[in-house]
Amino acid sequence: MTSLDVTDCHLVTDAALWAVSRHCKELRTLVASGCGQITRVGLRAMTLGCPLVQRLELSRCASLDDPALSAIAAGFPHLVSLTVSECDHITDDGLAVLASGCRDLEHVDVSGCPRLGEFGDRALLALGRFCGRLERLDMFGCAHVQDAGIIAVARGCGGLEKLRLTGCRELTGGALAALARQCPNLVDLSIAGCE
Protein backbone atom coordinates (compact mmCIF):
# COMPACT_ATOMS: atom_id res chain seq x y z
CA MET A 1 0.00 0.00 0.00
CA THR A 2 1.34 3.42 -0.96
CA SER A 3 -1.60 5.63 0.04
CA LEU A 4 -3.89 5.65 3.07
CA ASP A 5 -6.90 7.93 3.65
CA VAL A 6 -8.60 7.78 7.06
CA THR A 7 -10.19 11.24 6.94
CA ASP A 8 -12.67 11.86 9.77
CA CYS A 9 -12.14 8.40 11.26
CA HIS A 10 -12.39 9.70 14.81
CA LEU A 11 -11.41 6.40 16.39
CA VAL A 12 -8.01 6.25 14.64
CA THR A 13 -5.36 6.54 17.35
CA ASP A 14 -1.59 6.50 17.68
CA ALA A 15 -1.82 2.71 18.05
CA ALA A 16 -3.33 2.50 14.56
CA LEU A 17 -0.50 4.59 13.13
CA TRP A 18 1.99 2.35 14.89
CA ALA A 19 0.41 -0.70 13.20
CA VAL A 20 0.51 1.05 9.82
CA SER A 21 4.17 1.91 10.38
CA ARG A 22 5.00 -1.75 10.99
CA HIS A 23 3.19 -3.14 7.96
CA CYS A 24 3.13 -0.43 5.27
CA LYS A 25 6.78 0.34 4.63
CA GLU A 26 6.08 1.66 1.11
CA LEU A 27 3.53 4.28 2.23
CA ARG A 28 3.95 7.59 0.37
CA THR A 29 0.72 9.43 1.29
CA LEU A 30 -1.16 9.64 4.58
CA VAL A 31 -4.43 11.56 4.75
CA ALA A 32 -5.72 11.68 8.33
CA SER A 33 -7.61 14.96 8.49
CA GLY A 34 -10.09 15.17 11.33
CA CYS A 35 -8.46 12.36 13.32
CA GLY A 36 -8.34 14.15 16.65
CA GLN A 37 -6.66 11.36 18.59
CA ILE A 38 -3.47 11.37 16.52
CA THR A 39 -0.53 12.90 18.40
CA ARG A 40 3.21 13.30 18.04
CA VAL A 41 3.59 9.71 19.34
CA GLY A 42 1.79 8.23 16.35
CA LEU A 43 3.60 10.49 13.92
CA ARG A 44 6.94 9.51 15.43
CA ALA A 45 6.05 5.84 14.86
CA MET A 46 5.20 6.68 11.24
CA THR A 47 8.56 8.36 10.71
CA LEU A 48 10.37 5.26 11.96
CA GLY A 49 8.39 2.75 9.93
CA CYS A 50 7.38 4.68 6.81
CA PRO A 51 10.36 6.84 5.82
CA LEU A 52 9.16 7.21 2.21
CA VAL A 53 6.15 9.40 3.06
CA GLN A 54 6.08 12.49 0.86
CA ARG A 55 2.55 13.78 1.44
CA LEU A 56 0.76 14.35 4.77
CA GLU A 57 -2.71 15.79 5.25
CA LEU A 58 -3.45 16.33 8.94
CA SER A 59 -6.02 19.13 8.99
CA ARG A 60 -8.26 19.45 12.02
CA CYS A 61 -6.11 17.12 14.12
CA ALA A 62 -6.70 18.82 17.46
CA SER A 63 -3.73 17.21 19.24
CA LEU A 64 -1.08 18.22 16.71
CA ASP A 65 1.50 20.60 18.12
CA ASP A 66 5.04 21.85 17.55
CA PRO A 67 6.71 18.63 18.79
CA ALA A 68 4.62 16.74 16.20
CA LEU A 69 6.05 19.00 13.48
CA SER A 70 9.53 18.37 14.88
CA ALA A 71 8.95 14.61 14.57
CA ILE A 72 7.79 15.07 10.97
CA ALA A 73 10.85 17.20 10.19
CA ALA A 74 13.22 14.61 11.65
CA GLY A 75 11.59 11.58 10.06
CA PHE A 76 10.31 12.73 6.67
CA PRO A 77 13.14 14.81 5.17
CA HIS A 78 11.77 14.33 1.63
CA LEU A 79 8.27 15.54 2.43
CA VAL A 80 6.81 17.40 -0.55
CA SER A 81 3.34 18.36 0.69
CA LEU A 82 2.05 19.13 4.18
CA THR A 83 -1.45 20.21 5.17
CA VAL A 84 -1.98 21.04 8.84
CA SER A 85 -4.78 23.58 8.50
CA GLU A 86 -6.99 24.34 11.49
CA CYS A 87 -4.49 22.93 14.00
CA ASP A 88 -4.71 25.37 16.90
CA HIS A 89 -1.51 24.35 18.72
CA ILE A 90 0.94 24.89 15.86
CA THR A 91 3.15 27.97 16.21
CA ASP A 92 6.00 29.61 14.32
CA ASP A 93 8.51 27.54 16.29
CA GLY A 94 7.14 24.24 15.00
CA LEU A 95 6.77 25.39 11.40
CA ALA A 96 10.30 26.85 11.43
CA VAL A 97 11.74 23.50 12.59
CA LEU A 98 9.72 21.74 9.90
CA ALA A 99 11.00 24.10 7.19
CA SER A 100 14.62 23.54 8.18
CA GLY A 101 14.19 19.75 8.16
CA CYS A 102 11.96 19.32 5.08
CA ARG A 103 13.66 21.31 2.36
CA ASP A 104 11.88 19.58 -0.54
CA LEU A 105 8.50 21.07 0.38
CA GLU A 106 6.48 22.26 -2.61
CA HIS A 107 3.13 22.75 -0.86
CA VAL A 108 2.37 23.92 2.68
CA ASP A 109 -1.16 24.57 3.98
CA VAL A 110 -1.38 26.14 7.43
CA SER A 111 -4.71 27.88 6.86
CA GLY A 112 -6.63 28.64 10.01
CA CYS A 113 -3.70 28.08 12.39
CA PRO A 114 -4.39 31.05 14.68
CA ARG A 115 -1.05 31.12 16.48
CA LEU A 116 1.15 31.50 13.38
CA GLY A 117 2.78 34.91 13.30
CA GLU A 118 1.67 35.60 16.86
CA PHE A 119 5.19 36.59 17.93
CA GLY A 120 6.79 37.52 14.60
CA ASP A 121 7.26 35.82 11.28
CA ARG A 122 9.85 33.20 12.25
CA ALA A 123 8.06 30.43 10.33
CA LEU A 124 7.89 32.38 7.09
CA LEU A 125 11.50 33.49 7.43
CA ALA A 126 12.46 29.80 7.69
CA LEU A 127 10.29 28.81 4.71
CA GLY A 128 11.97 31.52 2.65
CA ARG A 129 15.41 30.44 3.78
CA PHE A 130 15.12 26.66 3.48
CA CYS A 131 12.25 25.81 1.11
CA GLY A 132 13.28 27.21 -2.25
CA ARG A 133 11.12 24.65 -4.09
CA LEU A 134 7.89 25.94 -2.55
CA GLU A 135 5.19 26.40 -5.21
CA ARG A 136 2.04 26.73 -3.11
CA LEU A 137 1.49 28.32 0.30
CA ASP A 138 -1.93 28.52 1.94
CA MET A 139 -2.23 30.82 4.98
CA PHE A 140 -5.92 31.70 4.81
CA GLY A 141 -7.01 33.22 8.11
CA CYS A 142 -3.55 33.54 9.69
CA ALA A 143 -4.29 37.04 10.93
CA HIS A 144 -0.87 37.76 12.46
CA VAL A 145 1.23 37.31 9.30
CA GLN A 146 3.25 40.44 8.50
CA ASP A 147 5.16 41.87 5.57
CA ALA A 148 8.61 40.66 6.71
CA GLY A 149 7.55 37.02 6.46
CA ILE A 150 5.94 37.34 3.05
CA ILE A 151 8.94 39.30 1.76
CA ALA A 152 11.23 36.48 2.96
CA VAL A 153 9.07 33.91 1.15
CA ALA A 154 9.13 36.03 -2.02
CA ARG A 155 12.94 36.28 -1.88
CA GLY A 156 13.56 32.61 -1.17
CA CYS A 157 10.75 30.95 -3.09
CA GLY A 158 10.86 32.53 -6.54
CA GLY A 159 9.00 29.56 -8.05
CA LEU A 160 5.89 30.28 -5.99
CA GLU A 161 2.77 29.77 -8.14
CA LYS A 162 -0.14 29.99 -5.68
CA LEU A 163 -0.40 32.02 -2.49
CA ARG A 164 -3.51 32.30 -0.30
CA LEU A 165 -3.32 35.15 2.22
CA THR A 166 -7.04 35.85 2.63
CA GLY A 167 -7.68 37.32 6.06
CA CYS A 168 -4.03 38.16 6.77
CA ARG A 169 -4.99 41.60 8.01
CA GLU A 170 -1.54 43.01 8.79
CA LEU A 171 -0.12 42.88 5.25
CA THR A 172 0.63 46.06 3.32
CA GLY A 173 1.65 47.02 -0.18
CA GLY A 174 5.28 46.21 0.67
CA ALA A 175 4.53 42.50 0.69
CA LEU A 176 2.65 42.75 -2.59
CA ALA A 177 5.49 44.68 -4.22
CA ALA A 178 7.99 42.00 -3.17
CA LEU A 179 5.78 39.24 -4.58
CA ALA A 180 5.37 41.13 -7.86
CA ARG A 181 9.14 41.65 -8.19
CA GLN A 182 10.43 38.27 -7.09
CA CYS A 183 7.78 35.67 -7.95
CA PRO A 184 7.36 35.71 -11.74
CA ASN A 185 5.53 32.35 -11.72
CA LEU A 186 2.82 33.54 -9.31
CA VAL A 187 -0.49 33.01 -11.11
CA ASP A 188 -2.93 32.78 -8.20
CA LEU A 189 -2.81 35.30 -5.34
CA SER A 190 -5.63 35.69 -2.84
CA ILE A 191 -5.41 38.65 -0.44
CA ALA A 192 -9.06 39.39 0.26
CA GLY A 193 -9.67 40.81 3.70
CA CYS A 194 -6.23 42.39 4.05
CA GLU A 195 -6.63 45.86 5.57
A 10 A CB-CB count for 1 gives 11
- Sorted by where each begins, the domain ranges of the chain are 35-41+56-190
Tens place of pLDDT per residue across the chain (195 aa): 999 999 999 999 999 999 999 999 999 999 999 999 999 999 999 999 999 999 999 999 999 999 999 999 999 999 999 999 999 999 999 999 999 999 999 999 999 999 998 878 999 999 999 999 999 999 999 999 999 999 999 999 999 999 999 999 899 999 999 999 999 999 999 998 776
The fold for domain 35-41+56-190 equals 3.80.10
The rounded distance, in Å, linking the Cα atoms of 135 and 127 is 11
Total-model pTM: 0.95
Q: H or E segment at 179?
A: helix 173-182
Cβ burial of 2 (10 Å; 0-12, 13-18, 19+) is exposed
